[in-house]
Amino acid sequence: MAYFEIGIYAPLHSENIGTLWRTAYQLGAAGIFVVGKVHRTQSSDTTRTPRQIPFRSFPTWADFLQHRPIGSRLVGIEMGGSPLQQFVHPAEAMYVLGSEANGLPGHVLEDCDAIISLESLRHPSYNVAVAGGIVMYHRQFFTKSGSGSSI
């Protein structure tokens, strides 16, 4: 059975976490996570997402790695990675986005099984929650999610 979660490393704005959480629920994620920041729920969350899929917070990257699901592939979402259009999503994946200001640090990228990027027309980067939504949408509707990959 296919399984995925998505999260943000060192997020700066709780609004982005809330937006990603609701989008993750809509697009079939098993949960979301953050590394390095505690999150408060948003009063604007009309679907009561916290009751639908879990949110986990990890104080450090090492703690996240220790507690991620066994067998899941770590997929970084970062400028300069392989194009999303060509990516075959692994059956079990943990997608990680970088902070709004700094992206993913080198030590996180080194731990990733794959790094994917999103093409754009004007500015090279997307809002972190929007980038996560695009990747989840691609996983659910443009590929055979859970079919495995070479990573």
Q: Where are the beta strands (DSSP E) in 48-126?
A: 55-58, 73-83, 92-97, 114-117
Residues 2/145, Cβ–Cβ less than 8 Å: yes
Residue 57 has a pLDDT of: 94
Residues 16/43, Cβ–Cβ less than 8 Å: no
Question: Which residues are CB-contacts of 28 (< 8 A; sequence separation ≥ 6)?
Answer: 4, 136, 140
For each successive 10 residues of the chain (151 residues), what is the average pLDDT? Answer: 92 91 95 82 52 89 97 97 96 96 96 97 92 97 58 50
Residue 150 has a pLDDT of: 44
- The domain made up of 3-75+87-109+126-141 has a fold known as Alpha/beta knot (3.40.1280)
